[in-house]
Amino acid sequence: MAKEPKGIDISNVPELVRIAQEVRDTNQPCLLKRDNEELAILMPVRPTRKRSPKGRPTTAEDPLWKLVGIGDSGGPGDVSENKHKYLADAYLHGA
């Protein structure tokens, strides 16, 4: 895995800020030299992509809504909904 480059704040070095902005604006790397010695390459940073939301919003016509209420059987599976009724029936008939 590649190492993350070290960040250096250049806010107080106006000439370097100007060069960095030029590299960003032109999207072209720049070779930094001292006399005839090549020191570093200044590369533009790839712009970060904005993530688009996945999927789509649901509408009233979405087939998903056909599933709403499908689990309401009205039979023995409705114990949590009618627990007090079932407990009262059990106590009355069990006593």
Averaged over successive runs of 10 residues, the pLDDT of the chain (95 residues) comes to: 84 94 93 94 84 81 83 67 86 77
Q: Residue 16's CB: how many other CB atoms inside 10 A? A: 14
Q: What is the CA radius of gyration of the chain?
A: 34
What distance, in Å, lies between the first and last C-alpha atoms of the chain?
A: 73
- Helix, coil or strand: residue 59: coil
Task: Write down the pLDDT at residue 86.
Answer: 84
Q: What is the pTM of this model?
A: 0.46
Measure CA 58 to chain center.
Answer: 20
Task: Write down the pLDDT at residue 27.
Answer: 92
CB 64 within 8 A of CB 58: yes
Name the token pair of 90.
């059990």
